[in-house]
């Protein structure tokens, strides 16, 4: 099959290599010419510096569409609209989304953004899948949901990358978006002291918030106990590869949000998604204490230690009421 991939970041490139290894033809689109030149001339990318890339890249969006049978989205959620609005003809068999987040200005999930431009069959792939490990062929398991889920499962799975299917697009999208917010909170805890008890409590209650949020939109609670939910939450809250966790840790140690954005080429989706999550929670009257504190720390310069105390002093209740 022919796959066109929008986005030449670490995940887009790792996924491209995976597809090539599975025997597919792959072309990757990158916004910046220097990224395309680096891939085409040297078979490498600064996002994955120690990995040989086995595909070609282009800056031409039309070339990607003409080439592709399937289009893979691997660009930050806040920029998806600005890219796909330039696609004039959607003569492809399906879309596979790898990006995790909620668009700030519309409060829409990726599937809802795509629906504005095309009725091409949509699927999403999500789960604990850091690009650095996939690129090095470390055993990984993920979930795909959508119209072409079984087809993508067969096209993508191999000896080190196992794909399960799900019928819950909404749950998979929401779990992937919210776990990034919760990973920032986990990073903040790491920056404050890295306490095991606190991290375990945080992750458990983070899952509770994710389920509450998802059920408002009709998501299946079981999805959050699978790879897109607790699986991705575990790896993103604990891994040294997690940008969201790392950003949270640096914030707790005194780096400002503006400094983080300015000094990092790679984007931590959670710093943008938290804005949308808090706004939606207010509109839908969803209690999201962890997400709210992350927002206050990032955007109102609240002292993380005060946030921790306020979370601990919330009204006492039974566990796991949704």
Give me the active site residues, please: 179
In a 13 Å sphere around the CA of 129, the CA atoms on its Cβ side amount to: 27
Instruction: Tell me whether residue 244 is annotated as binding.
Output: yes
Q: Is 232 annotated as a binding residue?
A: yes
12 is in an annotated binding site: yes
The two beta strands, 140-146 and 122-126, are antiparallel
User: Which residues are registered as beta bridge partners of 72?
Assistant: 5, 96
Q: Is 254 annotated as a binding residue?
A: no
Annotated binding-site residue? 205: no
200 is in an annotated binding site: no
Q: Does 90 show up as a binding residue in the annotation?
A: no
The whole-angstrom separation of Cα 81 and Cα 114 is: 8
Instruction: Kindly state the tokens that stand for 92.
Output: 């492809």
Q: Binding residue per annotation — 31?
A: yes
φ/ψ of residue 274, rounded to 5: -60, -30
DSSP secondary structure string for all residues of 100-148: ----TTT---HHHHHHTT----EEEEESS--HHHHHTT--EEEEEEETT
Q: Is there a binding annotation on residue 240?
A: no
Consult the annotation and say whether 3 binds a ligand: no
Neighbouring residues of 303: CB distance < 8 A, sequence distance ≥ 6: 297
Judge whether 9 is annotated as a binding position: yes
269 is known to lie in a ligand binding site: yes
Strands (E), 160-213: 161-166
Whole-angstrom distance, CA of residue 158 vs CA of residue 161: 5
Query: Exposed, middle or buried, 205 (CB in 10 Å: 0-12/13-18/19+)?
Result: middle
Structure tokens at 131: 């690009």
Cβ atoms of 29 and 3 closer than 8 Å:
no
> 314 labelled as ligand-binding?
no
Distance CA 257, CA 42 (A): 34
Is 4 assigned to a binding site?
no
To the question of whether residue 276 is assigned a binding role by annotation, the answer is: no
Q: Which residues are annotated as a binding site for substrate?
A: 100, 243-244
Q: Which residues are annotated as a binding site for NADPH?
A: 10-11, 31-32, 47, 100, 131, 243, 267, 269
Q: Which residues are annotated as a binding site for NAD(+)?
A: 7-12, 79, 131, 243
Q: Which residues are annotated as a binding site?
A: 7-12, 31-32, 47, 79, 100, 127, 129, 131, 179, 232, 242-244, 267, 269
Q: Which residues are annotated as a binding site for sn-glycerol 3-phosphate?
A: 100, 127, 129, 179, 232, 242-244
């Amino acid at each position: 099959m022919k796959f066109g991939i929008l986005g030449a970041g670490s995940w887009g490139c790792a996924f491209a290599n995976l597809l090539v290894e599975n025997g597919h033809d792959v072309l990757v689109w990158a916004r910046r010419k220097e990224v395309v030149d680096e891939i085409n001339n040297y078979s490498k990318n600064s996002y994955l510096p120690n990995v040989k890339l086995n595909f070609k890249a282009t800056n031409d969006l039309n070339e990607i569409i003409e080439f592709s049978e399937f289009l893979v989205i691997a660009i930050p959620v806040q920029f998806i609209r600005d890219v796909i609005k330039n696609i004039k003809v959607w003569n492809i068999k399906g879309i596979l989304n790898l990006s995790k987040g909620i668009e700030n200005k519309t409060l829409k999930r990726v599937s809802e953004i795509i629906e504005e431009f095309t009725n091409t069959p949509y699927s999403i792939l999500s789960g604990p899948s850091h690009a650095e490990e996939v690129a090095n062929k470390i055993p990984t398991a993920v979930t795909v949901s959508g119209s072409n889920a079984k087809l993508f499962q067969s096209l993508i799975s191999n000896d080190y990358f196992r794909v399960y299917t799900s019928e819950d697009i909404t749950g998979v999208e929401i779990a992937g978006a919210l776990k990034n917010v919760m990973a920032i909170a986990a990073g903040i805890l790491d920056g404050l002291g890295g306490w095991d008890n606190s991290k375990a409590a945080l992750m458990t209650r983070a899952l509770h918030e994710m389920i509450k949020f998802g059920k408002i939109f009709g998501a299946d609670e079981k999805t959050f106990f699978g790879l897109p939910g607790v699986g991705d939450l575990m790896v993103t809250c604990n891994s040294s590869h997690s940008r969201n966790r790392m950003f949270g840790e640096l914030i707790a140690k005194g780096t400002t949000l503006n400094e983080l954005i300015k000094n990092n080429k790679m984007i931590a989706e959670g710093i943008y998604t938290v804005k949308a999550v808090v706004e939606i929670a207010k509109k839908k009257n969803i209690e999201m204490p962890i997400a709210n504190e992350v927002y206050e720390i990032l955007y109102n310069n609240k002292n993380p230690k005060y946030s921790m105390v306020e979370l601990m002093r919330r009204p006492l209740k039974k566990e796991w009421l949704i």
